[in-house]
Amino acid sequence: MYRIAKTLNHNSFIGVEEENNREYLVMGKGIAFGKKTGQRVQPGDDARIYSLTEMTERGNARTIVQGVSPLSLELASAVLDEAEKEFGKIDRSIVFPMADHLDFAVRRIQNGEQISNPLTDDIRVMFYKEYKVASCIRELLKERLQIEIDEHEIGYLALHVHSAIVEENVSQAMEVARAVRESISLVEHITGHTIDVMSLSYNRMMNHIRYMVARAVSGEKLKVNMNDYMSVKFPKAFQAAKRICEEMEKRLKLPMEEIEIGYLAMHIERIMDREEGE
């Protein structure tokens, strides 16, 4: 049972759970309609309940709820409903930073402002399912606010969806996407050829770098050291891989094991060999 501390709109309120005396965001269709502060409400099974003690990348959950529109919270919760259909169990506490992002996005659109994200194509490929889920926001915004959202905003939203399904926050996911893009750009510079983001070469490189970052986060180490072989046999690819690993270490603020260089060099050499042969 929850005692209403503040109604946000017809579909949401901030309530105090009577057993633990903690504050929660309670959401559900019509759940706060006609209700007043101090009233007790027993949410139904379809209600969404979020603890306001959560700390996020964008700050304290309670502060976010006070600073965004109730509609942004509803929209973020609706996107997470779609994410649950696609991925099963997810971390729904991401509703707060996602609502914060959506609130800014809506204001940008309404003010005629546009953001540009050079990583949108990479995000769409790297996080294909997340991007597909995030795209549901198009119809939601058309229906609720009669506004159009562009692919760049959806790309950012896809990173929030991603952080709800894996232990990787939005900024880390963005850095992984950036690391992939910079790796590809470096190989393109070396070979003088453009690599299509839809190509097998791109996908192999993308997946390898994603697993590299996952290993750096978990502390997992590769077993076979290929560095000596790759540095002698393919020095160009090895130096490119070393440079990429050093940049990733700085950007992600995570230690990259030296053994990773040789494995990344193998992927770079494959791309270089294929591109130079065309």
Q: How far apart are CA 99 and CA 107, in angstroms?
A: 12
Query: Is 115 part of a structural domain of the chain?
Result: no
Residue 88, domain member (yes or no): no
Domain limits for position 29: 1-53
CA gap 40, 37 in Å, rounded: 9
Split into its structural domains, the chain has a count of 2
Q: Are 207 and 201 in contact (CB under 8 A)?
A: no
**Banded pLDDT at 95 (limits 50, 70, 90):** very high
What CATH number did the domain enclosing 36 receive? 2.30.24.10
From 37, 53, 69, the end of a domain falls on 53
Q: pTM of the entire structure?
A: 0.81
Write the pLDDT tens digit of every residue in 218-272: 888 899 999 999 999 999 899 989 988 888 888 778 888 999 999 999 988 888 7
**DSSP letter string over 147-184?**
----HHHHHHHHHHHHHHHSS--HHHHHHHHHHHHHHH
**Taking a C-beta distance cutoff of 8 angstroms, is the pair 2, 12 a contact?**
no
DSSP 255: P
Residue 184 lies in a domain: yes
3-class state of residue 257 by DSSP: coil
- Does residue 233 fall inside a structural domain? yes
Last residue of a domain, one of 38, 53, 68: 53
End-of-domain residue from the set 12, 36, 53: 53
Q: Provide the CATH number for the domain around residue 233.
A: 1.10.1790.10
